[in-house]
Chain A
Amino acid sequence: MASNNEQTNSHSHFPWSHVVGFGLSIVLTLLALWIGFYSGFSLTTIMVIVVGLALVQATIQLLMFMHITESEDSTVQVGTILYAVFIAVAVVAGTIWVMSFGMHYM
């Protein structure tokens, strides 16, 4: 039953993955903010980039803080979350697409 991968073995050392994840999250948040207010890109470009940065930050949380890959059920865990992300993208993008017909979107 013991799962002997790196994550579970490293628990007596300094929590580097947490510190690195925290640092990256701060950098990504500030970067999104800078792109939003100072980059001068169009709204569409800004939104594509900052949503991309949000997805990167969410992945960092899942890997470095939540240890999604550490248990022996990790394939099922990762599969569940990927499937849920697919559902979320289909719901959000599909709703916006359908509801924007016949309206001039602001």
Chain B
Amino acid sequence: MEAVEHSPNTPLEYQTETGRLNILGFWIFLGAEIALFSTLFATYLVLVGRTADGPGPAELFEISGVLIETFLLLTSSFTCGLAIHYMRNHSLKGVFVWIGITLALGLGFLGFEIYEFVHYIHEGAALTTSAYWSAFFVLVGTHGAHVTLGIGWIILILIQLKQRGLTPDTSRKVFISSLYWHFLDVVWIFIFTAVYLYGMVM
């Protein structure tokens, strides 16, 4: 890690007015995302127990799988933060390495989640089984869809980064996608707590 001397202390992504406003706009978008997920959490929590004689969460949830998913996503949030740290040290290589690790962990998370969903469906708990499982698949599935979208989006940004290098424009895009990625981990914390932990403890 080389210590780079550069006169303005402001990170690249904040150096243009557009960059600053885009980042602010993305925070406002994240506020809307919180509202979106809150409606799905509310629906899920109201429908807990409405299993219509189908299997319940306690029978199907497995702590090991949930913990693996949780730590994959948590670690990917950490490595994504390191990528931003290296970006601010003007290390393009550092950004590629740590974003690459982040994407690999994200794909691992998705793999485990898809495996988990397929397993539940085989055990007789599908989207149409009961109100409870409908709410479960919509809430956790919406989060999974966000992760999928995030992986695609970040791959496109990496391609642009390869072509253009670290400019105020590309740095802004990397930074905003990192906010999105951290946000997905924040949502997962609440899914871990309100869906899995609650489902297994009750």
Contact = CB atoms under 8 A, between A and B. Distances in A.
B197 A50 contact: yes
Interface residues of A, number: 57
Nearest to A17: B81
B143 interface: no
Interface in A13-70: 14-15, 18, 21-22, 25-26, 29, 32-33, 36-37, 43, 46-47, 50-51, 53-54, 57-58, 61-62, 64-66, 68
A64 B37 CA distance: 22
Interface of B: 1, 3-4, 8-11, 14-15, 17, 20, 23-24, 27-28, 30-32, 34-35, 37-39, 41-43, 45-46, 48-49, 63, 67, 70-71, 74-75, 77-78, 80-82, 85, 88-89, 178-179, 182-183, 185-186, 189-190, 192-194, 197-198, 200-202
A14 to B, nearest CB: 8
Contact of A65 (B30, B37, B182, B198): B182
Interface of A: 1-4, 8-9, 11-12, 14-15, 18, 21-22, 25-26, 29, 32-33, 36-37, 43, 46-47, 50-51, 53-54, 57-58, 61-62, 64-66, 68, 71-73, 76-77, 80-81, 83-85, 87-89, 91-92, 94-96, 99-100, 105-106
Pick the 7 closest A-B CB pairs, nearest first.
A106-B49, A88-B38, A84-B31, A11-B88, A95-B42, A84-B34, A22-B78
B201 A43 contact: yes
A8 B10 contact: yes
Contacts of B15: 1
Identify whether the interface residues of B are mostly helix, strand, loop, or mixed. Answer: helix
B30 A71 contact: no
B74 A58 contact: no
Contacts of B183: 66
A68 B178 CA distance: 12
A1 B200 contact: no
A92 B34 contact: no
A80 B32 CA distance: 9
